[in-house]
Chains A and B, each alone.
Chain A
Amino acid sequence: MTTQLVPGTRPAAKAGRASGRPPRRRFWQSPWLYVAPALILLITFTYVPVANMVFYSFHKWDGLDVTMTPAGFDNYVRVFTDERYWRVFLVSLYYFVASFAQIAIALYFAVILSFNTRFRNLFKGILFFPYLLNAVAVGFVFLYLFQPDGTLDTLLRWFGLGDQSRLWLGDPDIANISLASTSVWRFTGLNFVLFLGAIQSIPGEIYEAAEIDGANRWHQFVHIIAPGIRRIISLSFILAISGSLAVFEIPFIMTGGANDTRTFVVQAYETAFQFRQIGLASAMAVVLLVIVLLLTWIQRRVLPDEEVNLS
């Protein structure tokens, strides 16, 4: 690819150059040389894996053997019929519901902090900060919080709710809720900062004009802020759906998938790297990829991109 000589065609480039340049110099002028590293990396680590994954998904393979056994649609049939595999979609629902809470909380705080507030930067920093923390550290912090007789149980006792104590991570009925709450704690800050940025990019004069016209804060929210950040909010919802399907770190670190907390990616990880069923794991990954691409396509259809093109 790098040896293909496609010289630039920008007029200015040609004007300064004599026609009989030696080819060596021409080679160094080729734009292909500049895109080549990025393109090679992109193809090797994104497109080849995706193609291979589709190929693996129609085979039975342990990842080591030289030969793969063709398996037709068996892997896909298993993903959709074996309870162990389709159950993980249900676990995603917990995270999906939690992300609604996350978006609502983030929106509330973004709106109130976009108006004059004392210690504004301090609050902004505190709310955003968890997003920057290492996933393993967050996992350990919440393992400690949810421990039997740990921080959460102690706090409940302080408020006279000691009888509400549960095995927060050990009880399958509640473990997913605990993990999804941890996820809300970790990611609300991201949504919050994005919403706040979008609100602040609305020109200040609009608020002033509205205030002169007698609009109160609620009117300002409904008629100025909400339309101004519609795009980022709907983008957050789409990301919430694909994000809740791709949850991995928090359940993997905190429970290792025990007590019915196995998510799609945790299951795919175990299938591929512990049980060495590469074909089956690939089928899972293909299903997930198709869902995510479909959602993005829907989003693009529903919300046409008003943004610039990049070329």
Chain B
Amino acid sequence: MRRAATFFKYASLVLASLVVLTPLVVVLFASFKTREEYSTSGPLTPPENWFNFDNFATAWTGGDMLRGFLNTTLILVISLTGTVAVGTLAAYAINRFDFAFKKWILGLFLVAALVPGVTTQVATYQIVKSMGLVNTPWSAIVLFLGTDIISIYIFLQFMQSIPPSLDQAAMMDGASRFTIYRRIILPLMKPAIVTVVIIKGIAIYNEFYIPFLYMRSPELNVISTALFKFKGPYGAQWETIAACTMIVIIPTVVIFLVLQRFIYNGITAGATK
């Protein structure tokens, strides 16, 4: 009985792993195949030459992926820095000071967390357009900054664990509020900042709708939209599309392997708020 249960457990785990990995592995196979090899061999046949990087080269130059990665990195760095600054400042004020309408402001943040971003794009587009930001990287940056309520949540929760006696003592010593934020709060917030950078960073790297809607011109392609453009002109060249898909996936694999523990913690902290 016990034996059978153990067997079933491992069998189900192996089956699930195969279901997860097979779709990815076949794309990896395809990315190393030459044109003739692709059309003559089955999808589950490994490539003859594992060092055939021609498709990767075609995809990299044809899709202008370097530009895609540069644009993504630029947006990522500015948005993340902004998110951390804006979020920690707000959490500091809300958690540490009493002021008029504080409860109202907190309520505004909490209710906003319930509004799914995709639903309001119709109207958000008009606002971004009136600011003249459509077709600039700033459209994505302000939207990543502006629609981010989860980060403020995480910062607020973390602030509660920092003892107020620390900043009160500093205040007695005559430190200004900004000094306290800069020298005491911000360094202690590091774990929360790591969490936010990871979950937000992954979300931005993977975001498709916002860049697709707001940054139409080819020189503003981020990796999602650059990859998406392969759908038309390369429609029949699956070996090239496969290589480009791998180019997009590989950084995620590397980040995941390096930061596994932080990612699990971040995802749990971010989703259960």
B-binding residues in A (CB < 8 A)? 6, 8-10, 12-13, 15-16, 28-35, 37-39, 41-50, 52-53, 56, 63, 105, 108-109, 112-113, 117-118, 121, 123, 125-137, 140-142, 144-145, 147, 150-151, 154-155, 185, 190, 193-194, 197, 232, 235, 242, 246, 248-249, 253, 265, 268-269, 272-273, 278, 281-282, 285, 288-289, 292-293, 296, 308, 310-311
Interface SS of chain B: helix, strand, loop or mixed?
helix
Assembled-state Cα–Cα distance A264/B120 (Å): 13
Q: Which residue of B lies closest to A123 (CB)?
A: B13
| A34 pairs with B92, CB closer than 8 A | yes
| A15 pairs with B227, CB closer than 8 A | no
A290 shortest CB reach to chain B, Å: 10
Given contacts A12-B168, A45-B143, A249-B208, contact A125 B248 (CB under 8 A): no
Q: Which residue of A lies closest to B145 (CB)?
A: A41
> C-beta contact mask, B163-200 vs A, less than 8 Å → 1, else 0?
00000100111101110010000000000000000000
Assembled-state Cα–Cα distance A155/B225 (Å): 31
Assembled-state Cα–Cα distance A30/B96 (Å): 12
| A137 pairs with B122, CB closer than 8 A | no
**What are 13 sample pairs from A and B whose C-beta atoms fall under 8 A apart?**
A12-B172, A45-B124, A48-B123, A49-B127, A117-B13, A125-B260, A129-B256, A132-B256, A134-B223, A136-B224, A253-B228, A281-B122, A311-B102
| A296 pairs with B114, CB closer than 8 A | yes
Contact residues in B for A242 (Cβ distance below 8 Å): 116
| B9 pairs with A194, CB closer than 8 A | no
- Which residues of chain B in 7-28 are interfacial with respect to chain A, using CB atoms and an 8 Å cutoff? 9-10, 12-13, 16-17, 19-24, 26-27
| B252 pairs with A134, CB closer than 8 A | yes
> Which single member of B10, B248, B264, B271 contacts A134 (CB below 8 Å)?
B248
A-binding residues in B (CB < 8 A)? 9-10, 12-13, 16-17, 19-24, 26-27, 30, 42-44, 85-87, 89-90, 92-100, 102-103, 105-106, 108-110, 112, 114-116, 118-127, 142-143, 145-147, 149, 152-153, 156-157, 160, 168, 171-174, 176-178, 181, 202, 205-206, 208-209, 213, 223-225, 227-228, 230-231, 238, 241-242, 245, 248-249, 252-253, 255-256, 260, 263-264, 267-268, 271-272
Q: Which residue of B lies closest to A200 (CB)?
A: B268
| A112 pairs with B12, CB closer than 8 A | yes
Assembled-state Cα–Cα distance A94/B242 (Å): 28
Closest 10 CB pairs of A and B: A45-B146, A34-B93, A38-B90, A41-B146, A49-B123, A31-B97, A53-B123, A31-B93, A197-B268, A52-B123
Assembled-state Cα–Cα distance A287/B152 (Å): 27
Assembled-state Cα–Cα distance A252/B114 (Å): 24
> Which single member of A10, A141, A281, A288 contacts B23 (CB below 8 Å)?
A141
Contact residues in B for A37 (Cβ distance below 8 Å): 85-86, 89-90
Given contacts A8-B97, A12-B171, A144-B238, contact A253 B208 (CB under 8 A): yes
Contact residues in A for B126 (Cβ distance below 8 Å): 52, 63, 278
| A16 pairs with B172, CB closer than 8 A | yes
B11 shortest CB reach to chain A, Å: 11
